[in-house]
């Protein structure tokens, strides 16, 4: 049967790999080009790259090796896709069908839309018509409100939208999204597990696959995400601070009796 998926998320900021905490602290952890081979070797089921840069200054801060000139995220994408033989999702700063085409033609299988999907929801439909629903991932960043509801934020967690995560996920599916990537802003970098209410509310509101993100600190947290209704479980920071994170994650899922791709 169809397997549940384990997905590393790589965060790019101004051409560098970063780790993130509560959407506000970003710590540089390396050079994405240098790490491409290692990430592509991981025994995982997909890769998601999110470009969270706020401006156009891409700088690898070094010109001491052959990396010179490798300054734009699209160039990073090209380098990634040359040796990435698993599904690759690319997100960040996508505002038009042309932006999607620029990424898909460079090797992305899917693109994720976040802020722009809320500003211009028609973009989801336009993209789905050209590239298919399966290529449209709508990414939702949500914060828990005191009343227990999860509110969607855009612009890197800075702007509240008034939408609940479940309502916006349902609307995104109606408009042509093929998958939802749901991330808890509160749990980002916290390491104390997914916001399971958030995941289950979004999974219940939709019929498309849901990818859970935000909060994984131990491999067992993946199991909770799947049990809350996610079809795929993702994490970002964990991958940079634990050795053999691919095997560890898969082992925890398999041990819990979840059907995964054996590696």
Minimal distance in Å, beta carbon 2 to other proteins? 5
What whole-number distance in Å separates Cα of residue 17 and Cα of residue 213?
17
Minimal distance in Å, beta carbon 6 to other proteins? 10
Q: Compute how many residues bind other proteins; rule: CB under 8 A.
A: 32
Q: Which residues from 42-71 bind other proteins, rule CB under 8 A?
A: 43, 45
Q: Count CB atoms within 10 A of the CB of residue 211.
A: 26
Q: Is 5 in the site for other proteins (CB under 8 A)?
A: yes
- With CB under 8 A as the contact rule, which of the stretches 127-135, 149-157, 187-195, 215-223 interacts with other proteins? 127-135
Q: Is 250 in the site for other proteins (CB under 8 A)?
A: no
Q: Exactly one of 114, 115, 231, 245 binds other proteins (CB under 8 A); which one?
A: 231
Q: Which residues from 185-214 bind other proteins, rule CB under 8 A?
A: 207-209
Q: Is 257 in the site for other proteins (CB under 8 A)?
A: no
Identify which of 225, 228, 229 has the alpha carbon closest to the alpha carbon of residue 249.
Answer: 225
- With CB under 8 A as the contact rule, which of the stretches 12-20, 81-89, 113-121, 148-156 interacts with other proteins? 81-89
Shorter beta-carbon distance to other proteins: residue 23 or 222: 222
Q: Please name every residue paired with 175 in a beta bridge, in sequence order, or none if there are none.
A: none
String of b and e for 21-31 (b: at least 16 CB within 10 Å)? eebeebeebeb
Q: Exactly one of 25, 28, 86, 204 binds other proteins (CB under 8 A); which one?
A: 86
Minimal distance in Å, beta carbon 41 to other proteins? 9
Q: Exactly one of 20, 53, 89, 133 binds other proteins (CB under 8 A); which one?
A: 133
Q: Exactly one of 132, 227, 241, 247 binds other proteins (CB under 8 A); which one?
A: 132
Give me 38's structure tokens.
């290692």
Give me 33's structure tokens.
């080009």
Q: Measure CA 204 to chain center.
A: 20
Rg of the Cα atoms in the chain: 17
- Phi/psi of residue 66, each to 5°? -70, 5
What whole-number distance in Å separates Cα of residue 75 and Cα of residue 133?
25
Q: Count CB atoms within 10 A of the CB of residue 139.
A: 24
Q: Is 229 in the site for other proteins (CB under 8 A)?
A: no
What whole-number distance in Å separates Cα of residue 36 and Cα of residue 235?
17
Contact mark string toward other proteins, 150..179, x via CB under 8 A: ----------------------------xx
Contact between 86 and 46 under an 8 Å Cβ cutoff? The reply is yes
Given the rule CB under 8 A, which residues bind other proteins? 1-3, 5, 43, 45, 81-83, 85-87, 101, 104-109, 131-135, 178-179, 207-209, 231, 261-262
């Amino acid at each position: 049967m169809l397997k549940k998926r384990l997905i590393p998320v790589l965060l790019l900021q101004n051409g560098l790999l970063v780790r993130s905490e509560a959407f506000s602290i970003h710590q540089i952890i390396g050079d994405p080009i240098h790490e491409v081979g290692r990430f592509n070797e991981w025994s995982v089921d997909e890769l998601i790259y999110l470009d969270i840069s706020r401006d156009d200054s891409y700088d690898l801060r070094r010109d001491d090796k052959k990396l010179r000139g490798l300054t734009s995220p699209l160039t990073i994408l090209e380098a990634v896709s040359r040796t990435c033989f698993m599904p690759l999702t690319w997100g960040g700063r996508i505002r038009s069908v042309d932006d999607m085409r620029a990424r898909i033609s460079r090797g992305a299988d899917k693109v994720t839309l976040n802020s722009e999907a809320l500003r211009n929801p028609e973009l989801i439909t336009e993209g789905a018509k050209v590239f298919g629903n399966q290529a449209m991932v709508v990414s939702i960043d949500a914060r828990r409100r005191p009343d227990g509801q999860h509110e969607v934020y855009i612009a890197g967690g800075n702007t509240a939208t008034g939408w609940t995560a479940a309502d916006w996920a349902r609307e995104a599916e109606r408009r042509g999204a093929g998958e939802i990537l749901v991330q808890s802003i509160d749990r980002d970098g916290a390491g104390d597990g997914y916001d399971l209410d958030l995941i289950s509310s979004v999974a219940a509101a939709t019929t498309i696959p849901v990818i859970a993100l935000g909060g994984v600190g131990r491999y067992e947290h993946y199991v909770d995400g799947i049990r809350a209704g996610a079809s795929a479980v993702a994490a970002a920071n964990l991958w940079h601070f634990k050795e053999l994170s691919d095997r560890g994650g898969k082992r925890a899922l398999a041990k819990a009796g979840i059907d995964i791709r054996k590696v």
